[in-house]
Amino acid sequence: MSLAKPITPHLWFDTQAREAAEFYCSVFPESRIDSSIVLRNTPSGDCDMLHFHLCGQPFMAISAGPVFTPNPSISFFVHFDPVRDAQAREKLDALWQELIHGGVPLMGLDAYPFSERYGWVQDRYGVSWQLMLTKPDSEPRPTIVPSLMFTGAACGKAREAGEFYRTVFDGSQAGRFMPYPPGMPPDREGTAMYSDFRLGDTWFAAMDSAHEHAFAFNEAISLVVPCRDQAEIDRYWAQLSSDPKAEQCGWCKDRFGVSWQVTPIAMDEIMASGDQATIDRVVQAFLPMHKIDLATLEAAARRK
């Protein structure tokens, strides 16, 4: 059985979730904010939480204090296809100008062997984007693709991670795998210079980097797995959770250090109801949980 909804990247901010979502929706085409609510009386105080779409890709964002900070270990490819859009290069350049304002270039906007026009930028909110003009003969991919960079102790595990994730999620598919050739130290020959794969309906990229980086995977960007029922929650939790210390409120961390949120679709529906009293009861019910107990949440929602 495939996922009922796509895997959704979740962005953690100090106080800027609403500002960031509004900014992204103003600069990415075909984008919108779907919902905005307040989670009250959490350990971080009152938190804004938003659902939004960018170029068809769902996202979530929360303002929950300066606990976690985004870094380039998880970034987002933004593909511009000159075959389908004659203005692809111009649109890429225009988006770069928006994202670089107040941000930091990680790889300058330029021509590279793998793309005639590419740049990697960490924006003013700390989120990283890789803007790429695709080659005419490349296989089609969604406009936005989350990308995992395996660094430090996780370096060299990108291929293993892709294979593991494809066993976890039904309806998955292997994509491209491009290994590092010899003579590119410190990167080891045969590790992933670039790879991609589909989990359910969501494409991901993954790569290894043996260079010195001051970052690794953390909870600032997590991946939300939508579940139909408790059986799905139990199944995904058993496969993805590898660090008991990281288990909280439906969050877990896998053996590679990537953070996931295994959550019921019913909770999204409760949060989108607009009934603040019900939302408050459900929030207080899930705050003490590690793995989500759906029956307890539903009971809290019904209680008056």
> Would you say 81 and 132 are in contact if contact means Cβ atoms under 8 Å apart?
no
Domain of residue 108, CATH code: 3.30.720.110
Residue 2 lies in a domain: no
**Residue 1 domain flag:** no
| 114 and 222 co-located in one domain | no
- Could you tell me if 167 and 265 lie in one domain? no
Q: Which of 184, 208, 232 is the last residue of a domain?
A: 208
pLDDT confidence of residue 237: 98
Element (H, E) at 262: strand 259-264
Task: Identify whether residues 109 and 19 lie together within a single domain.
Answer: no
Last residue of a domain, one of 208, 240, 258: 208
Strand partners, 283: none
Q: How many residues are listed for the chain in this entry?
A: 304
Residue carrying structure tokens 């960007």: 221
Report the distance separating Cα 65 and Cα 43, nearest Å: 9
pLDDT for residue 269: 85
Do 29 and 119 lie in a common domain? no
Domain membership flag for residue 213: no
Verify that 196 and 91 share a domain, yes or no: yes
Find the distance separating the first CA and the last CA of the chain, reported in whole Å: 35
Give pLDDT, residue 138.
Answer: 84
Question: Residue 71: its pLDDT value, please?
Answer: 98
What's the pLDDT at 85? 94
- If asked whether residues 144 and 175 sit together in one domain, one would say yes
- Same domain for 204 and 99, yes or no, is yes
Q: Token digits for 275? A: 């009934």
Residue 81 and residue 192 share a domain: yes
CA distance 121 to 104: 6
Claim to verify: residue 238 and residue 267 sit in the same structural domain: yes
User: Which pLDDT score, from 0 to 100, does residue 271 have?
Assistant: 84
pLDDT of 275 reads 85
Where among 158, 180, 208 does a domain terminate? Answer: 208
Q: Locate 190 and state its tokens.
A: 């045969």
Mean pLDDT, the chain cut into blocks of 10 residues (304 residues total): 85 98 97 94 93 97 96 98 95 98 98 96 98 92 97 97 97 96 96 97 97 96 97 98 95 98 92 87 94 95 82
Indicate whether 193 and 243 sit together in one domain.
Answer: no
Judged by DSSP in three states, 215 sits in coil
The answer to whether residues 78 and 204 belong to one domain is yes
| Joined tokens for residue 120 | 């990697």
- Domain that residue 65 falls in: 8-69+218-302
In a domain, 99, yes or no: yes
- Residue 155, domain member (yes or no): yes
Q: Is residue 257 part of a domain?
A: yes
